[in-house]
Structures are given as structure tokens and as C-alpha cells.
Chains A and B, each alone.
Chain A
Amino acid sequence: AQTVTQSQPEMSVQEAETVTLSCTYDTSESDYYLFWYKQPPSRQMILVIRQEAYKQQNATENRFSVNFQKAAKSFSLKISDSQLGDAAMYFCACKGYQKVTFGTGTKLQVIP
């Protein structure tokens, strides 16, 4: 069984500042992947970044990076130099064998 918990329903950040979105997960599988997806008002699901659980090095994609703490089962997303286009729902997800489990999402507001 897998669970993914996002404890921040809403967050806000000033444009150009940095924000961190939290995610914790639980899984019985030893081999799994973690993802962050972005869902803007258009409702598309856009892959932001992914992390392989067996890799200790934190994944980075341009302004997006993760802080992966495997022992704590924590997978937070850091957005640097926030832009207006970053405003969206952000979903954390855990993929084990076959199935992906999503968190309930964090709504990010970017203040100009």
C-alpha cells in the first residue's frame, strides 16, 4: 500500500522568492520513484521533476529542485526565483509497482 501526504493545502510566495512545498509518503516497496506534477488552471498535468528512490543525489530541473530524505520518507519541492507562471496546483506522487499514488495537492499562489 502507498500513501502520499501533502500537509499544505495552500502556499503563497512573492515573485522572485523561493518557496518549498512539503510531501511525505509511505510505501511498502523497496523500489519506487517520486514525482512532482504541476496542474495549472488549464488542468493539464505537467511533470515537473522526478527522483529515483535508490539515488541519494537530489534531482534538479532548472529552478526546481527536491530535498529527498529517504529515511524520513520526505520529498519536498523547492522552487527558486518564483515566476507568475508557477502559480498552479502541485501534486506529489509515488510510483511503485504499476500504480501511482497522488497527494491531495498544494495550491501555490505567486504574488507580483
Chain B
Amino acid sequence: NAGVMQNPRHLVRRRGQEARLRCSPMKGHSHVYWYRQLPEEGLKFMVYLQKENIIDESGMPKERFSAEFPKEGPSILRIQQVVRGDSAAYFCASSSTGSRDQPQHFGDGTRLSIL
């Protein structure tokens, strides 16, 4: 299966802990996008990365959140000192290029629960 792989599917953290969400894009894709979906809401753009570069992070909270997409390995969305409001589904999507005609292919998401 060469689809977008996210892990873990479910992640439980206590307030104040760190959460690391991983995303391996589809084979041949070098553009990765992260979205957050709160219950009963649509997806909100967080950040767009290309290998080793952050292209657009306009949707990322200014504090506690960071993302990277290293030359080797998956993209990581990191949330430090988690709070209850961080509970959500986090989706990763990838595309082969950043051009408009390329649809984004989504992973199955990581459901983050904060106790």
C-alpha cells in the first residue's frame, strides 16, 4: 500500500506532555500538509512543508506547535505541553507537486486525546 501513512492512529496524552504525530507521504510525493479537525468541524489548514522546508505555516499556533519534514524519514508534527483544547483529529496529506491541479491524498489521521 503506497498511500499516506500516519501513526499512531490514536494517541493519548496527559496535560503537559508532548505529542509527536508522524506522517509518511505517498511514494514520490515531496509535499506534505497538516490539518486539524475539531469534532463536528471541517479541516483547518496548519502547515505546508516540502522536504526540509516550511513553505506556509500560517495556520500553526504560534506557541507549542512545530513541524518538520526532514530529508530522510517522515514528517513530524510536534505539540509540546499539550492542553485539553489540542484534542482533535490531525490529518496529513501529500501531493507530488505544490501545483493547483494536484489533489492532496490524505492519511487516515491521528486522533489525539488529552486527559
Q: Out of A31, A101, A102, A104, name the residue touching B100 (CB < 8 Å).
A: A31
B28 within 8 A of A: no
Q: Is the CB of A104 within 8 A of B41?
A: yes
Given A43-B89, A45-B93, A102-B105 contact (CB < 8 Å): no
Interface size class of B (residues with CB under 8 A): 20 to 34
Interface size class of A (residues with CB under 8 A): 20 to 34
B55 within 8 A of A: yes
Q: Which residue of B lies closest to A104 (CB)?
A: B42
Q: Is the CB of A33 within 8 A of B100?
A: yes
**How near does chain B come to A24, taking the closest CB pair, in angstroms?**
14
Q: Is the CB of A43 within 8 A of B108?
A: yes
Report B95-115 CB contacts with A as 1/0, cut-off 8 Å: 000101101111011010000
Please give, as numbers and ranges, the residues of chain B lying within 8 Å of A101 by CB-CB distance.
Answer: 45
Report B35-50 CB contacts with A as 1/0, cut-off 8 Å: 1000001111100100
Please give, as numbers and ranges, the residues of chain A lying within 8 Å of B33 by CB-CB distance.
Answer: 100
Summed over the interface, the residue pairs from A and B with CB atoms below 8 Å come to a total of: 55
**How near does chain B come to A67, taking the closest CB pair, in angstroms?**
20
**How near does chain A come to B52, taking the closest CB pair, in angstroms?**
17
**How near does chain A come to B62, taking the closest CB pair, in angstroms?**
18
Q: Is the CB of A96 within 8 A of B56?
A: no
A75 within 8 A of B: no
B91 within 8 A of A: yes
A68 within 8 A of B: no
Please give, as numbers and ranges, the residues of chain A lying within 8 Å of B106 by CB-CB distance.
Answer: 37, 44-46
Please give, as numbers and ranges, the residues of chain A lying within 8 Å of B108 by CB-CB distance.
Answer: 42-44
| Residues of chain B whose beta carbon lies under 8 Å from any beta carbon of chain A | 33, 35, 41-45, 48, 55-56, 58, 89, 91, 93, 98, 100-101, 103-106, 108-109, 111
CB<8 Å pairs between A and B, sample of 11 = A32-B100, A33-B103, A43-B89, A43-B109, A44-B108, A44-B109, A45-B106, A47-B105, A99-B45, A104-B41, A105-B42
